[in-house]
Structure 1
Amino acid sequence: MNATDARSNLRILAVCWEGGGNVPPTLGAVRALAGRGHNVRLIADDTMRAEVIDAGARFLPWKRAPNRSDRSPESCYVRDWETSDPLAGFQRACERVFVGPAQFHAEDILEALATEPADILLGADMLFGSMLAGEIAKVPTALLASNISLWPLPGHPPFGPGFQPARSVADRTRDAEVSATAERQWDGFLPCLNATRAHFGLAPLFHVREQPLSAGRHLLATSRSFDFPTEHLPDHVRYVGPLLEMPSWAHERWTSPLAHEMRPLVLVSFSTTNQGQADVLQRAISGLAGEPIEVVVTLGKALEGLRLRSPANVTILPNAAHDEILTKASVVVTHGGHGTVLRSLSHGVPLVVLPMGRDQNDNAARVDYHGVGLRLDPSASPQMLGEAVRRILSESSFSERASALRRAIAEEGPGPARLVAEIEDFVLRYSQGALSAA
């Protein structure tokens, strides 16, 4: 492949799974690559079919691997709202999505590659089957992370608990202990992973964390300015910036009542998927009731039909787009999902974050680190929520730091264009023999 081919006519096979917040960044990547003129196929759950076609790619459904036909809570793979134990949620995710079905994910991907070759496999950082398929087929493989890195970067605390970077011996000891515990939890799935590798004739691994290293690139769809600082990145890790694709269902528009246009606007948004957030949503609404502010609550597909008590200063929108609201918002109250946090900060809006699991503790830690908002426990009372919003509205330092971070994110450049450039550069280097397959 020559340099022109690597920049204008790549055959790309991408993969995704229906996990809520990971879907829009993947679609954003697909749209950017197809818009550049590349030939893109995406293997994903049937829920994504129309969105994939709209983004300019050809859609392939999972056949052997788990495949959601709708986005109802009942069809969710992990159902992490059913347990308050984050470890149990992690184990479910590994069993049902990340590692357990790896053989089936890999078989579907390998079948697609056999039917039509690809110049690059754009895998998912959570689907071990996509890493395996790239290793087996010896196709250059990049993994797309829809948020911060799942695997700790140099100088970063371990993923999960939401720690700040270590500043003392005690902090470093804490990080080492938690990292060791996390590795043991991951390695609980090593027999399953190695059995899958043996099925395909691959040698066993000593640790689960070795499998992602079979990919030549890890592309982080987040802002380096938002992430914790690091002295150096591993050569295979690249920040491409946030891919803030709007969910397909977010079409409802909001217009401020004329009588309330001078009031501060607060946006309240808690996840595109069910995390059992009805109670915290109601507490947020109650904590902001009667305040001299305008409140807009957006629900999303997972919470359609949810009945909430709504005071006079609160508007509830089932399927609203956030960008227009954020141009006028003064504060965002959220669970801390990566998309909501980065979209808010890209508009320079500070946040109150009540993390409920997944990557949210770590996003909240970064909000706290940069001073662009406040972090509360999801069990916070309505009074505490109201006080947090009043503090952000009254202390200008929060909005000033959020504006500074907005400028820093903008200066990094648009995420879709940076992702395309990284993909093209990776394939070009591979074709020139600068990189190996694994």
Structure 2
Amino acid sequence: MARVLVCVQPARGHVGPTKPIVAALLAAGHDVAVVTGARYRETFEKLGASVNVLPPAADFDETDLDGSIPGRAGLKGLKLARFDLTNFVSAMPAQLGSMDLDVDVVLCDPLFMAGLALVRREPRPRVLVLGFLPFLPPVPSGPNSAVLKTFARWVLGPAQRRARDLLGEDPGMLFADWPLHSDGVLQMTCPGFEYPRTGAPLHFIGPTTVSAATEYPLPPWWGDLDGSRPVVHITQGTIANDDLSRLVEPAIDALADEDVLVVVTTCGGELSRGPLPANVRVADFLPYDELLPRCAAMVGNGGYGGVNHALRHGVPLVVVGASQDKREVAARVTWSGAGIGRARASVSPRTIKRDVRAVLTEPRYRDRAKELAAEMAAGPSMAEVVELITA
């Protein structure tokens, strides 16, 4: 029996892919403790894990980020990005104080910045990273490198200085690069969707999130998904959905006159528009493992988990996103050939209509999405993932 400590930020997009791994470890007879926020304590206790709740200095409410994180309200764009990165680093001492390191292995969220301190320690337990975020590429060299490096210093500099102050010395790496210095990354995608990297071993385990009708009940209109029209799913994810006019509402307008059935999930957000077009169906959440096999395309803002969940079912993508890591995800959608990615905060209904038509009518997008689905299906089973973690 192995002793495993799982450290995960209290956010749906982080907890969702972590739950199946915790459940599989427990089912295999291993001892699992979880460190996360108060909002998800019951989630992991129901699985049978012991849970240590983060103190207020490191906890937050993903449904009210501005209200639960002092100093965040009113910030936008790159200023918000700088603040969030520095805030993640500032949680390091409180996170470390919540961790019992008398374990064999630590599974760590890449945004759980205690990992930066752990990978620099000797001796220490094995540290494996829960790879439900894309790796950020290094700043490229070339004629524009000076400008890019200056830009990176402005965005990342405050968090890097905070990391140095908390550690008492220069960390010897960019704070966000600590996963590359771990003992391995359980990357929740397939090789065809992720840029080649050097550093810590990458173990491609595919998306792990399970989203079934037992978790999200089917709406009364579910029978409309009868295959008579192509289904296009639209979502802004679970975090960046405070303003659905950035993507969901323009996409609804774009597809109002198309011969498709539009299925929208608001994920806690609220539509501000008036009556919906006749071809639109709306729910707060839906079971993806029931919905996505019925979809011909998905329009989203680039959440890494949602995108890979779609690819697991061979669904081609239209991605428009610029917040958090979504620029990187949009770039990978285009690079992989599984859809059209636009690293922008919003686009016009005309552009969305053109992009959706392209992924519906040009076979190369669906063919590539199916190739990536086959890669994921050929990846390790959950039992093999458990063996990898506990070996």
Shorter-chain TM band: 0.7 to 0.9
CA shift in 2, pair 1:25/1:381, >3 Å: same
TM-score by length of 1: 0.78
- Give aligned pairs, total: 385
Cα pair 1:45 1:62 within 8 Å, conserved: yes
Note the 1:185-224 alignment, pairs <5 A.
Answer: 185-198=155-168, 204-209=170-175, 212=179, 215-224=182-191
Distance in 1, Cα, partners of 2:217 & 2:12: 19
Cα pair 1:123 1:142 within 8 Å, conserved: yes
Distance in 1, Cα, partners of 2:71 & 2:17: 22
Cα shift at 1:293: 0.9
Pair 1:58 & 2:59 matched: no
Per mean C-alpha deviation after superposition, the further-off stretch among 117-126 and 183-192 is: 183-192
Partner of 2:353: 386
TM-score by length of 2: 0.87
The letter of the residue matching 2:156 is: W
Partner of 1:149: 135
Cα pair 1:297 1:317 within 8 Å, conserved: yes
Partner of 2:306: 340
Note the 1:172-251 alignment, pairs <5 A.
Answer: 172-174=142-144, 178=148, 181-182=151-152, 185-198=155-168, 204-209=170-175, 212=179, 215-229=182-196, 233-246=198-211, 251=216
CA shift in 2, pair 1:88/1:138, >3 Å: same
Cα pair 2:236 2:248 within 8 Å, conserved: yes
Partner of 1:88: 79
CA shift in 2, pair 1:281/1:125, >3 Å: same
CA shift in 2, pair 1:276/1:79, >3 Å: farther
CA shift in 2, pair 1:276/1:82, >3 Å: farther
- SS in structure 2 opposite 1:238? strand
Pair 1:128 & 2:113 matched: yes
Cα pair 1:64 1:105 within 8 Å, conserved: no
Distance in 1, Cα, partners of 2:235 & 2:279: 16
- SS in structure 1 opposite 2:13? coil
- SS in structure 2 opposite 1:402? helix
CA shift in 2, pair 1:74/1:194, >3 Å: closer
Cα pair 1:225 1:405 within 8 Å, conserved: yes
Cα shift at 1:41: 0.7
The letter of the residue matching 1:45 is: G
The letter of the residue matching 1:384 is: T
Note the 1:295-306 alignment, pairs <5 A.
Answer: 295-300=262-267, 302-303=268-269, 305-306=270-271
Cα shift at 1:357: 1.5
Partner of 2:93: 103
Distance in 2, Cα, partners of 1:144 & 1:248: 25
Pair 1:18 & 2:10 matched: yes
Displaced runs of 4+ in structure 1, greater than 6 A? 78-81
Distance in 1, Cα, partners of 2:334 & 2:67: 34
Q: Paired residue for 1:140, among 123, 126, 145?
A: 126
The letter of the residue matching 1:240 is: I
- SS in structure 2 opposite 1:42? strand
Partner of 1:408: 375
CA shift in 2, pair 1:250/1:270, >3 Å: farther
Distance in 2, Cα, partners of 1:259 & 1:130: 44
CA shift in 2, pair 1:259/1:266, >3 Å: closer
- How high is the sequence identity, in percent, across the aligned residues? 24
Cα shift at 1:72: 3.6
